[in-house]
Structure 1
Amino acid sequence: MLTIIDRYILKKYLGTFLMLLLLFIPIGITVNLAEKIGKILESEVPLIEVITYYGYFTIYFANLLFPLFLFLSVIWFTSKMANNTEIVAVLSSGISFYRFLRPYLIGATIVCIGALVMGMYLAPMASKGYNEFSYRYLKKGKSDRDQANVYRQINDNDVIFVSSFNAANKSGTFFTLEHFEGNELEYKISANRINFNEADSTYTLFNYVKREIGKENDVLITKSRFDTIFPFEMDDLTPVNYIAETLNYNELNDFIDKELKRGSSYINRYEVVRQKRWSLPVSAYILTLIAVAVSSKKRRGGMGVNLAIGILIGMVFVFFDKVFGTMAEQSDFSPFVATWFPNIIFGVLAIYLLYGAKR
């Protein structure tokens, strides 16, 4: 059962966090709009699409930076309580320091659950709208799917290779498909160019060559142009780099399973996204404990000192998160270790700081 003190601290915890979000999100929107307004006007984007875009931007922005906002908000109101000697009064009444932490942990649980729901379902939807608007109006002529040397295993029997891929016209150059039965190569298809026809979901191959592997002699079939059907679409071959961010958790799990079977070279990037869906909400507890430990003591410099320390720790946390995430995306470094390592390091720091704050 919540006491008066619990309700008082919990109200400040959630209220200050929401207030900080409401203050910084308009600033983020204003800065983004000032940067993009020229391209928006040049593209003559309908007003309703601009409003929708900034709705997506709000969710995207809040989900991305909520740990930092939460950290600063806890430091802010806890420092204010310390300066007003409210914390001294609470502890002098016989309440232990760890009991004093209970409303903070309850607040962190509420934020964690909200962040989980947002990260699993709302943020992917917002990320999709945010990125689609950016590539449609703000990055004209630039495609995230123009790639070189695309190699994919599309099912248990077929492996394909495309030397280069152009997303704008859905075409590739120097295409090959190898079909296996067990470990035996049955046939190989090659073409100088491949085009995907959206109207009927067929493919056109130019300078088509099919080599059927025989026990004694191979059969060679050549055509200058050949229309056919394959068990894949161009979007499946070269998914956009941000595709994982746009999928809810269930869809992301299915997508990663499919990409593993296809031998995708971007598996680590997708795994980092999946692990962050869990690690970021959990960071609410760790950052809350650090913030309380840093700001519960009344300092000579007042709130300014606590905020300075908090901003420094917050920046280091973001730095660790970005560096290890990038390491996992671009190397064989474990995505699980990369995403949870900052939480582990700062969890140890939280325990150390809490011990010092209790003393």
Structure 2
Amino acid sequence: MKILDWYILKRYIFTFLMMLLLFIPIGITVDLAEKIGRILENNVPFGEVATYYLNFTVYFANLLFPLFLFLSVIWFTSKLANNTEVVAFLSSGVSFSRFLRPYIIGATIVATFALFLGMFLAPIASQGFNEFKYEYLKKNKQIQKTRDVYRQINDNDYIYISSFLPKRNIGMNFTYEHFDGNELKYKIFADNIRYIEEDSIYRLTGYVKRSYDNGIETIEKARRQNMKMPFEIEDLAPVEYAAETKPYFELLDFIKAEKRRGSSNIGRYEVVKLKKWSLPVSIFILTIIAVAVSSIKRRGGMGVNLAIGITIAMVYVFFDKIFGVMAAQSNFPAFIAVWFPNFIFGILAIILLQNAKR
């Protein structure tokens, strides 16, 4: 690599790291100021709080990785433009594409780290972050789907409950169906089902079992029945943020199993999976936009470039959040929801780059 490449690449990485070191403490301070009352009220141990903010740092950085990079590139490239260094580079015979090369190298380094972070480190941090939040800060809020849960457990078994009480591990109006191919072999009803953790069994109250054999129906009843069941207690009330806490390859298996079970949260899970790939791509797109916007020396100086950059960043976040919510809460395709912002801003990047080359 030549002197120009090292000069820009070092500033690219250094400014990005400084941006992280600047905004993460601000984010922690704002979050702590908002939650300090509930933390003190619930007597949360200091070790738990420290672990939470360690997880918060990883979670926060992963969430806003592209935007931190975008603003840092605009910042230091605007300084280069204001010092007429960009003009000097281009006047020496360096093409704009050649000038862009160290930025792409830097984006590749950061995107590789972001990919690793999103696939393996961020899920661990997300689990600790969410567990702390719901254990100490949102004690009265549900983290599970607890109404009208209908799930396929395996190729032959289906369950349904009308409601679930997580604190007591009790499901109401339980139904269990077992098929052999397309033929219903038996069906179990219960007024409620409760998981007995110490014995690893389920206790069914108001138990009724209807069995079918060659058109003959037999009925078995009991006021209370203890039995083993081929599903886990989590299957009765799946945690809504479960996908965020799983490393990538576990996530693939999890989504496959949830599709088979007929989960209503597939859109949310697919968004989590696809964002692990779309985020690194967005780093390249936002880097190109940032260079194209800030490499031009403007009359208003760095302030104008930063204003333009912040506006673009806000629009990007708006698109990303709106389409993400649409996919999670409706039947809107997750692939379109996740990749549409990158597609739109990719076109914008090409247009701005062509304009900057002129």
TM-score range, shorter chain: over 0.9
Residue of structure 2 in register with 1:187 after alignment: 186
Residue of structure 1 in register with 2:304 after alignment: 305
* Letter in structure 2 aligned against 1:56: N
Residue of structure 1 in register with 2:209 after alignment: 210
SS in 2 for 1:177: strand
1:286-297 correspondence to structure 2 within 5 Å: 286-297=285-296
CA distance in structure 2 between the aligned counterparts of 1:297 and 1:23, rounded to whole angstroms: 26
Contact 1:145 1:166 survives alignment (8 Å)? no
Give TM-score, length-normalised by structure 1. Answer: 0.98
The farther-off stretch of 34-43 and 69-78 is 34-43
Contact 1:325 1:339 survives alignment (8 Å)? yes
Does 1:269 pair with 2:280? no
Residue of structure 2 in register with 1:12 after alignment: 11
* Letter in structure 1 aligned against 2:97: Y
CA distance in structure 1 between the aligned counterparts of 2:331 and 2:90, rounded to whole angstroms: 49
CA distance in structure 2 between the aligned counterparts of 1:285 and 1:220, rounded to whole angstroms: 64
Residue of structure 2 in register with 1:83 after alignment: 82
CA distance in structure 2 between the aligned counterparts of 1:237 and 1:279, rounded to whole angstroms: 32
Residue-by-residue CA offset, 1:65-95 (whole Å, 9 max, x unaligned): 1111111100000011000000000001110
Contact 1:194 1:206 survives alignment (8 Å)? yes
Q: Shift of the alpha carbon at 1:216?
A: 4.1
Residue of structure 2 in register with 1:338 after alignment: 337
* Letter in structure 1 aligned against 2:357: K
Q: Shift of the alpha carbon at 1:190?
A: 0.3
* Letter in structure 1 aligned against 2:341: P
Does 1:27 pair with 2:18? no
Contact 2:210 2:217 survives alignment (8 Å)? yes
* Letter in structure 2 aligned against 1:140: K
Residue-by-residue CA offset, 1:102-149 (whole Å, 9 max, x unaligned): 000000000100100100011000000000011111111322115110
Q: Shift of the alpha carbon at 1:211?
A: 0.6
Residue of structure 2 in register with 1:46 after alignment: 45
Residue of structure 2 in register with 1:226 after alignment: 225
Q: Shift of the alpha carbon at 1:32?
A: 0.7
Contact 2:119 2:276 survives alignment (8 Å)? yes
CA distance in structure 1 between the aligned counterparts of 2:28 and 2:330, rounded to whole angstroms: 34
Residue of structure 2 in register with 1:127 after alignment: 126
Contact 2:145 2:239 survives alignment (8 Å)? no
Q: What is the aligned length? A: 358
Contact 1:179 1:185 survives alignment (8 Å)? yes
The farther-off stretch of 324-333 and 217-226 is 324-333
Contact 2:161 2:236 survives alignment (8 Å)? no
Structure 1 consecutive aligned stretches of length 4 or more whose deviation exceeds 6 Å: none
Residue-by-residue CA offset, 1:177-229 (whole Å, 9 max, x unaligned): 11111111111100001101111211000000001123343111110000001
CA distance in structure 2 between the aligned counterparts of 1:335 and 1:224, rounded to whole angstroms: 46
Contact 2:319 2:341 survives alignment (8 Å)? yes
Q: Shift of the alpha carbon at 1:4?
A: 0.7
SS in 1 for 2:349: helix
CA distance in structure 2 between the aligned counterparts of 1:158 and 1:112, rounded to whole angstroms: 43
Give TM-score, length-normalised by structure 2. Answer: 0.98
Unaligned residue ranges in structure 2 (runs of 5+) = none
Does 1:284 pair with 2:283? yes
Unaligned residue ranges in structure 1 (runs of 5+) = none
Contact 1:162 1:173 survives alignment (8 Å)? yes
CA distance in structure 2 between the aligned counterparts of 1:318 and 1:146, rounded to whole angstroms: 27
CA distance in structure 2 between the aligned counterparts of 1:273 and 1:138, rounded to whole angstroms: 24
SS in 2 for 1:218: strand
